[in-house]
Amino acid sequence: MKKYTITSVFVFLAFILHAVAVKPSDNKSYIEIYGAYDQISMSDYNTTQQQMHDIYNYLGYNAQFNRLDTAVLTEFSYVYNLESLNAGAWGVYFRGGRLNAVNEDKLFYDSGSVLERINSDYSVYYGGFGLRKYIAAFYVGADACVYYNPSNKETDSLYFSDGSMYGTFDKTWSTAIYGFNFEAGMDLWLNDKFGISFRGGYRYAKGSIDINWGPDYGNQVTTENVDYSGMFIGAGLMLAIGNDDGKEKPQIKADW
């Protein structure tokens, strides 16, 4: 086991050294397709979840109310370096994507059939602009983002004990908040066009939403604080774009 561990470490180090040595200097810009596992806070939502769980269990119901502590990020970024890739330069980047934050809760009859099912979607889209500092293959960066979703929803579905539907009730709201990302990463270029990237950091993004409970509750509106702040870590693919060094490629002419 120890032999395989040492071998794996050497292979990984060799891979990194090869990737760092690749200097695709003709390309200043590239795109990233990125995915990450994210922590989020959501203290107001989670407090309500715990209260509902305690109340229903006290009344003798089998309740499964889950916390919303994690989310999955999918992202597309465009990066432009002010000098060239892996050259210790500053770079600017634009990012956009979706932070997927969904949850499902259930309440059961004694028979085990579902009495109530609650599906909550706190997902947000986002777009931002930032600055990175590169040192060889490594970088640190920060950006400002806007997080929004015009149609967040929570659907509460009620069922009879035989499984037939009693009715559904929807809460709706829109989300629009500002945030900041602080991150560090490593770009490993496998050749002058293709590479992989590893990234981790911290997001600060919180604000308030106005939840409309719908016509069945007289369109009552309540305010809830949302907090997408937390650590994130993930990886992605990089694709270099174009030839931005402004130099004309030499032409080979044959005299016959």
- Look at the pTM and tell me if it is higher than 0.85: no
Question: Region 159-182: what's the mean pLDDT?
Answer: 94
- CATH number, domain 2-241, options 1.10.8.60, 3.40.50.300, 2.40.50.140, 2.40.160.20: 2.40.160.20
Q: Does pLDDT of 24 surpass 60?
A: no
Residue 14 predicted with pLDDT over 70: no
Tell me the Ramachandran region of residue 18: left when phi exceeds 0, alpha when psi lies from -120 to 50, beta otherwise: alpha
Select the more confidently predicted residue: 205 or 58: 205
Rounded mean pLDDT, 178-201: 92
* The predicted structure's pLDDT at residue 4: 43
3-class DSSP state for residue 9?
helix
Q: Quick one: which H or E segment has residue 20? A: helix 2-21
Per-residue pLDDT, 85: 54
* Per-residue model confidence (pLDDT) at position 102: 96
239 contact partners, CB below 8 Å, separation of at least 6: 30, 31, 33, 193, 194
Q: Kindly list the domain boundaries of the chain, sorted by start residue.
A: 2-241
Contact at 8 Å (CB) between 183 and 197?
Answer: no
Q: Please tell me which of 48-52, 186-190, 230-234, 240-244 the model is most confident about, judged by mean pLDDT.
A: 230-234
Lowest mean pLDDT among 26-35, 81-90, 113-122, 189-198: 81-90
Residue 253 CA to residue 247 CA, distance in Å, equals 18
